[in-house]
Amino acid sequence: MKDKTKAFITGGTGQVGTELIRRADAWRIDIVAPKRADMDIINEAQVNSQLDCIRPDIVINSAAFTAVDAAENNKDVAFQVNCDAAKIMADSCKRLSIPLIHLSTDYVFDGTKTASYDETDLTCPIGIYGKSKESGENAIREILIEHIILRTSWVYAAHGTNFVKTMLRVGKEQETLNVVDDQFGAPTFSGDIAEAILSITKQVLRQKDAGFWGTYHYTAIGHATWKDFAEEIFEKKANWVSKKPSIIGIPSSEYPTPAKRPLNSLLNCSKIDSVFSPPRRDWQLGLAEVLNQITEE
């Protein structure tokens, strides 16, 4: 039996990919994360060449076009990255009998449900980003049996572009912040997502039970509005600003964006808890860890 697992990941510089690379060694997983110059994820020949050469035990596809508003005016690019690349990766994985873990999103739902979304709920995306991710999911399901599609929501980290970084920046510039308070979700630290993926990787490779494969929801425990999220950021990072900004809750209608957002982004994680029991914690704890990582820039 091999000593360490070899995982091939895309999106190695993204919020989740960075944390996967940072944490993999503790799980005895060797990460291979090709740079864009070495492999374009929408180039089938390059993807096949990389996987033929590396022959990993598993592929983790964390690359995505996640600029929700920009996707509205860049439909072709969004579908290339979020759908075509997923199809190419699934085809290559099938040819080499390699399982695939693919990251997806709450945006495959329209957000009109009054309870948290289950994996069995019908998808109904309301924007280009969500539609492109839905298409990527469907492509994988049609091609590859040995897949895990992992939907998550409201992702943030100490690096990259995200709500936490934005709030800390504008909190220094403005005394009053208008923040949407009619959208609900579970803010989820990318490091926690990485821990879940690494835990699942070990389990599926150890047991290879066909019952594992399919779609799962993973988020932090609890829920919040964007206003709640902002208030918690400045409560925990009070020393970041000379005076804590006043945070005013507003409806989504008063904060128009090119892409409409789901009002309800809550995902039911009972299935993943039952099958894999990956580490999951209250969203405030993940936020505290990230805020401790962020220093004055």
Catalytic one of 107, 129, 156, 216: 129
278: nearest Cα among 86, 104, 27, 3: 27
Kindly give, in sequence order, each residue whose CB lies less than 8 Å from that of residue 180, ignoring residues fewer than 6 positions away. 225, 226, 227, 249, 250, 251, 252, 255
> Which has the closest alpha carbon to 61: 142, 162, 145, 140?
140
- 5/29 Cα distance (integer angstroms): 5
Classify the C-alpha dihedral 37-38-39-43 as positive or negative: positive
Q: Do residues 33 and 57 make contact, with C-beta atoms less than 8 angstroms apart?
A: no
CB-based contact 284:237 (threshold 8 Å): no
Whole-angstrom distance, CA of residue 75 vs CA of residue 259: 12
Q: Is residue 107 among the annotated active site residues?
A: no
Q: Which residue, among 243, 79, 95, has the nearest Cα to 173 in the 3D structure?
A: 243
Q: How far apart are the C-alpha atoms of 41 and 191, rounded to whole Å?
A: 23
CA nearest neighbour of 237 among 178, 184, 173, 289? 289
Q: Distance of CA 145 to CAs 96, 208, 213, Å?
A: 13, 12, 7
CB 1 within 8 A of CB 176: no
Q: Which residues are catalytic?
A: 129
